[in-house]
Amino acid sequence: MAVLVGKKAPSFSAPAVVNGVEFIDDFSLEQFVGKKYVVFFFYPADFTFVCPTEIIAFQENMEEFEKRNVAVVGCSVDSKHSHWAWLQTELKEGGIKGVKYPLVADPAMTIAENYDVLAGSWDYTEDGEAKFEGVPEAYRGLFLIDKEGVVRHQLVNDMPLGRSIDEVLRLIDALQFSEEHGSVCPANWHKGDKALKENHDSIASYLGEK
């Protein structure tokens, strides 16, 4: 798997549905550079079982992301029309109606491939015809991108494994604290906890206070 941490997030321009109803044909993460942090996450497919729990959980915590100046953007290999239909479907019917943050459409699977979360790959037959081997869906990849457009954290789960929104928020807090104070956030750090400077004395002091 490609390690994107420390590198510029792969750029793209793709169709998306925003505000739950509006089609945009050239959505890009570039609009956030210099302005916002971004949580860019992939999910396997629309109209599935685990995916709505994550997608709705992000929406339910949108106020917390907004407090931290973070844009949340989802992506799957479904079409923009599939996204739109799912966004119009009531929760009790398996839909995600009420979700307002952007959902990017990647039916060509190029975005998932560039972020190296595609659960399969293209190959060629002996006749030179392209064929896809594996599952034409994305793993549950998540990328925390800073305001300079650089990936600072990535996590990829297999399809049955849902993610923790609390952990995503914790990592955002750690990144922003580190950027502001120049400190290192130790294991299980939460906002308000003691952090470390990069020297052995502070580590010993920290461990002594545990």
Query: Catalytic residues, which ones?
Result: 51
Which positions ≥6 away from 1 have C-beta within 8 Å?
116, 156
Which DSSP string do the residues of 24-82 spell out, in sequence order?
EEEE-GGGGTTT-EEEEEE-S-SS-SHHHHHHHHHHHTHHHHHHTTEEEEEEESS-HHH
CA 157, 106, 102: angle at the middle one, nearest 5? 80
Quote the CA–CA distance of 125 and 172 in Å, as a whole number.
Answer: 45
State phi, psi for 26 to the nearest 5 degrees.
Answer: -130, 50
- Name beta bridge partners: 61: none
Give dist(CA 64, CA 37) in Å, integer. Answer: 13
120: left (phi over 0), alpha (psi -120 to 50) or beta: left
